[in-house]
């Protein structure tokens, strides 16, 4: 089974693709989508849609794992992230890939073993689990962690 994890954000959208064969996880690819900093929201959303469509087209994942939004942010950045998240969910649905949602707690538990892990611990554990040569960036690591989480839990509840 091929899984893509996505960490939506208006500044950086991280993504990571893994394969699960039996109990073995294999890293396929990961990266970041970074719209132009001065871009208007219309352009940001269009750019993320295009880039993500291209990633999905190349990787052909069978499922998308997405963290749900962490509420402990200020309202402005919460709204910005939610707007991108809506577009990301639409883009996955447009490519007819089921989207499964996990809480930040579930994702951290899946890679670090407990829910209060720091970002750097997530990066380190993702590197170890997927036998990467170097530390993935924080956003790509979060995306890979969501994919690992889905590989382990395989919830069926669709978003």
Residues classed as catalytic: 7, 67, 139
> Cα dist. 144→60, 74, 85 in Å?
16, 25, 17
When asked if residue 46 is in the footprint of a second copy (CB under 8 A), the reply is yes
> Cα dist. 125→18, 34, 113, 128 in Å?
15, 24, 10, 5
Considering only residues 129-158, where is the footprint of a second copy by CB under 8 A? Answer: 158
Smallest distance from a second copy to CB 26, Å:
27
The only residue of 42, 57, 131, 134 in contact with a second copy, by rule CB under 8 A? 42
What is the C-alpha separation between 110 and 42, in angstroms, rounded? Answer: 35
Q: Under DSSP, is residue 2 helix (H, G, I), strand (E, B) or coil? A: strand
**Beta carbon nearer to a second copy, 41 or 128:** 41
* Total residues at interface with a second copy (CB under 8 A): 28
When asked if residue 38 is in the footprint of a second copy (CB under 8 A), the reply is no
What string marks each residue from 51 to 90 as x (binds a second copy by CB under 8 A) or -?
------------------x-x---x--xxx-xxxxxx-xx
On the 0-12 / 13-18 / 19+ scale of CB atoms within 10 A, 96 is: exposed
What is the C-alpha separation between 154 and 117, in angstroms, rounded? Answer: 22
**Beta carbon nearer to a second copy, 44 or 107:** 44
**Beta carbon nearer to a second copy, 106 or 141:** 106
Question: Can you state the angle between helices 41-59 and 75-94, rounded to 10 degrees?
Answer: 40
Contacting positions for a second copy (CB under 8 A): 40-43, 45-46, 49, 69, 71, 75, 78-80, 82-87, 89-90, 92-94, 98-99, 158-159
């Amino acid at each position: 089974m091929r899984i893509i994890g996505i960490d939506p954000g208006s500044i950086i959208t991280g993504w990571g693709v893994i394969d699960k064969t039996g109990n073995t996880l294999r890293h396929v690819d990961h990266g970041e989508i970074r719209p132009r900093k001065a871009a208007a929201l219309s352009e940001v959303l269009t750019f993320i849609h295009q880039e993500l469509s291209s990633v999905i087209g190349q990787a052909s994942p069978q499922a998308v794992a997405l963290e749900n939004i962490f509420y402990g942010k200020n309202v402005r950045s919460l709204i910005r992230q939610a707007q991108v998240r809506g577009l990301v969910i639409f883009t996955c649905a447009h490519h007819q890939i089921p989207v499964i949602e996990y809480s930040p707690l579930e994702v951290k538990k899946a890679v670090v073993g407990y829910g209060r892990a720091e970002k750097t611990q997530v990066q380190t554990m993702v590197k170890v689990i997927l036998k990467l040569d170097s530390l993935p960036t924080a956003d790509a690591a979060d995306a890979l962690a969501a994919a690992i989480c889905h590989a382990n839990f395989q919830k069926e509840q669709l978003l």
